[in-house]
Amino acid sequence: MSRIIVDNLKVEELLTRRIGNFEGRENIWPSREEAEKRLKEERLRIYLGIDPTGPSLHLGHTIPLLFLKQLLELKLGHTPVLVIGDFTAAIGDPTGKDTTRKPLSDKEIKDNMNNYFDQVHKILPKKSFEVKHNSSWLAKMSLKDFMNIAGNLSVYQLEARSMFRDRKEKGNPLGVHEFLYPVLQGYDSVAMDIDGEVGGNDQTFNMLIGRDLEKKLLNKDKLVFATELLVEEESGRKMSKTEGGLISLSDSPKDMFGKVMKTIPDGEMISKVFKLCTEKPMQWIEDRKRADPYEFKKELAFELVKIYHGEMEAEKATDEWNRIFSRREYPNEMEEVEKRKLIELVGIVMQSSSTSAKMLINQGAVKVNGEVKKEWNFVPSEGDIIQIGPRKFVKIVR
């Protein structure tokens, strides 16, 4: 098989596997045909922007990151660029919620950035991508410069953003800083003289603003690739920091495995996460869809833990899950705590208030040696096993 045919197959998967659809069209601008042509004929710099608004990357971040990994694997000379939005994080991209996002302090932004690159390197090899911080150009921008840039866009153009319309119709506040956020993010493309951008399809509006600015200021036709989101079938909510259901890349192997099993619903969502967040072949995923959903989900949990913690940790996490939930046994390793009243013990273990501890006990979420215990002042004995919720186990000593 010739190299050009192999490249064609890889380009096809790049432009289909993780790319979303909206209102009947593929989320590629200006078109899939133009993107395919340029991917084969040019050496492109394509960027992903991440605002450090949380202490860890989550599963949703991996979708565009895996797109960039596919881009590298084309071996056609393309360069991924990772832009850390340390300036824009201080403003905050507006959410689809009815309230304004709270701006972050410089310290919060710096703390959030600390672990990002260790997590990114689990997907993109070190030195395989450029790193930029948008504070390096936005923080130096004068008010005059900003006004000149903003003058290339219309109020009507910015008002077209659906979440802005929703807030306006509901009479909910929309800060001027939020309204202008797309201008700042859009200017990132101009500052880098970039060839393309990838991001979740909730970022489509911002990415297209950048495309418009680059066209007007640089006479350059930026490619835009909007990837699918992890959207829960029934609720329509995405799995993210904002919406909940978060699976963080910094989760322990045990927690990551457990969260996959508990938060990802059965059905199409399992194969969707396999498709978007792993590199398993599509044919394998299609074949396994017909398997028992519980076993299929365990395979997904194993695969995700393997990617971010290694195969040995994935095997240990699987064995731990089987011990607790399949064979109803206790974990091999448990935290040890000194005996005390049950309400105090639950509060310490869960790092919660006495009110929250009482609630857990009253709801029957606390077991002693496998039996539900609802007496707040009960004092367990040395050697007793305390289970709090489905996955938290501790052993009483002394």
Among 240-244, 313-317, 322-326, name the one with the lowest average pLDDT.
240-244
Q: 65, 123 in Cβ contact below 8 A?
A: yes
Please give the model's pTM, rounded to 2 decimal places.
0.80
* pLDDT for 307: 96
Q: What percent of the chain has pLDDT over 70?
A: 86
**Long-range contacts of the stretch 147-151 (C-beta < 8 A, 24+):** 149/183, 149/187, 149/190, 149/213, 149/217, 150/180, 150/183
Q: 339, 396 in Cβ contact below 8 A?
A: yes
Q: What is the pLDDT of residues 331-384, one digit of tens each?
A: 767 787 887 788 888 888 888 888 888 888 888 888 887 778 778 888 887 667
Residue 387's pLDDT band, with cuts at 50, 70 and 90, is: confident
Q: What percent of the chain has pLDDT over 90?
A: 50
Q: What is the pLDDT of residues 190-200, one digit of tens each?
A: 999 999 999 99
Q: Is 175 exposed, middle or buried (0-12, 13-18, 19+ CB in 10 A)?
A: middle
Q: What is the pLDDT of residues 244-293, one digit of tens each?
A: 458 999 999 999 999 999 889 888 899 999 999 999 999 999 998 888 88
The yes-or-no verdict on residue 32 having pLDDT over 90 is: yes
Residue 394's pLDDT band, with cuts at 50, 70 and 90, is: confident
The yes-or-no verdict on residue 166 having pLDDT over 80 is: no
pLDDT top residue among 183 and 339: 183
* pLDDT for 330: 67
* pLDDT for 55: 85
Cα-trace Rg, the chain: 24
Q: What is the pLDDT of residues 51-102, one digit of tens each?
A: 888 889 999 999 999 999 999 999 999 999 999 999 988 776 665 554 455 6
* pLDDT for 1: 42
* pLDDT for 17: 95
Structural domains of the chain sorted by starting position, each given as residue range(s) with its CATH number in brackets: 3-227 (3.40.50.620), 253-326 (1.10.240.10), 335-397 (3.10.290.10)
* pLDDT for 23: 61
pLDDT top residue among 173 and 181: 181
Q: What is the pLDDT of residues 218-239, one digit of tens each?
A: 999 999 999 999 986 555 555 5
Q: Where are the alpha helices (DSSP H) in the chain?
A: 3-14, 32-41, 62-73, 106-113, 116-120, 135-138, 143-150, 155-159, 162-170, 176-192, 204-218, 253-263, 268-277, 282-288, 293-309, 311-321, 342-350, 354-362
Mean pLDDT of 193-211: 94
Among 119-128, 142-151, 320-329, name the one with the lowest average pLDDT.
320-329
Q: Where are the alpha helices (DSSP H) in 47-175?
A: 62-73, 106-113, 116-120, 135-138, 143-150, 155-159, 162-170
Nearest one of 255, 236, 349 to 301, comparing CA atoms: 255
Residue 2's pLDDT band, with cuts at 50, 70 and 90, is: very low
Nearest one of 279, 299, 190 to 10, comparing CA atoms: 279
Whole-number average pLDDT of the chain? 85
* pLDDT for 135: 94
Residue 143's pLDDT band, with cuts at 50, 70 and 90, is: very high
Q: Is 335 exposed, middle or buried (0-12, 13-18, 19+ CB in 10 A)?
A: exposed
Q: 346, 394 in Cβ contact below 8 A?
A: no
